[in-house]
Amino acid sequence: MVARREVGAYVVLEVADEAVAAAPGQFYMLAAVVGWGGGEGERPFLGRAVSALFARAGRVGFLLEDVGPGTRRLCSLAVGEELWLVGPLGRGFVPAAGEREPLLVGGGVGIPPLAMFQEAWGGRALLGFRDGWHAAGASLLEGAELATDDGSVGYAGHVTDLLERELERGAGKICVYACGPPAMLETVRALALAAGTPAWLALEAPMACGFGACFGCVVATRDGFKRVCLDGPVFEASVLA
């Protein structure tokens, strides 16, 4: 690891990686080389699926939050410590078709694919966080409009309230790209479908392998069950069941 910095409640890790650069929406499986598990004689942790925050000049970045033993170890890494990287994996976003404006909707640690999308193809961003400390993550995107659950920054409420407003203003002019908690994504999907607006969702799912072997991350679609790690993580909203 070549750099580490804190952004509010989150940690940004920057890793040297000369492999094929990730596209917006793709992810890596991460594991610390040392201290990755409960202790001597205990089974090591599984790798953690983490979306790329940026990929440029032989470096790839990741945004993490300490929410359990695995992410706690990753967040505690110091510059010079080593990580195992497998990736980039999965199918990412593609730019908006036609003349529709990309509207990026995200929450929490779901914002990295949107930051990469904005850097590559532009787009306005609507971001939701639980409080002001977490809302510091919005600095990773340009000009984002914010919503917080506690009302400490921006709109007091959910980011999907802001999306609903945008859809009422001009559903035929935008294409939605979203990543965040499952409940948020389900609301985004329902709102976009009701408005007849195309939407692409980067799903989150527990993963053991990251490349389709374990079938531990399946999601229901209109064409049957699909693997989030291999067939996604980005799915068109209209194909999800």
pLDDT for the residue 4:
97
Based on the domain organization, do 69 and 114 belong to the same domain?
Answer: no
The answer to the question of residue 212 being in a domain is no
Single out the residue of 159, 191, 161 nearest to residue 174, CA to CA: 191
What pLDDT score does 14 carry? 95
pLDDT at 38: 65
Residue 32 CB partners (closer than 8 Å, separation 6+)? 73, 74, 77, 81, 82, 83, 84
Considering the domain boundaries, does residue 210 fall inside one?
no
Residue 107 CA: distances (Å) to CA of 110, 148, 233: 5, 10, 16
48 lies in the same domain as 117: no
Residues 6+ apart with CB under 8 A from 41: none
Q: Which of 88, 117, 133 finishes a domain?
A: 88
Return d(Cα 23, Cα 160) in angstroms, integer: 25
Give yes or no: residues 197 and 107 share one domain. Answer: yes
Q: Which of 46, 52, 42, 175 is nearest to 103 (CA)?
A: 175
56, two tokens: 């440029």
pLDDT, position 71: 93
What's the CATH code of the domain at 52?
Answer: 2.40.30.10
Q: Is residue 234 part of a domain?
A: no
Residues in the chain, pLDDT under 50? none
**Integer distance in angstroms from the first to the last C-alpha of the chain?**
40
Residue 211 confidence (pLDDT): 82
Total domains in the chain come to: 2
Residue 19 domain flag: yes
Q: What pTM value is reported for the model?
A: 0.93
Give per-residue pLDDT as tens, 209-224.
888 888 889 999 999 9
* 52 within 8 A of 210, measured Cβ to Cβ: no
Give Cα separations from 44 to 73, 74, 145 (angstroms).
Answer: 12, 14, 40
Domain limits for position 35: 3-88
The overall average pLDDT reported for the chain is 92
Spatial distance between the Cα atoms of 69 and 93, rounded to a whole number of angstroms: 30
User: Is the domain of 164 the same as that of 69?
Assistant: no
Same domain, 70 and 106: no
CB atoms within 10 A of CB 196: 9
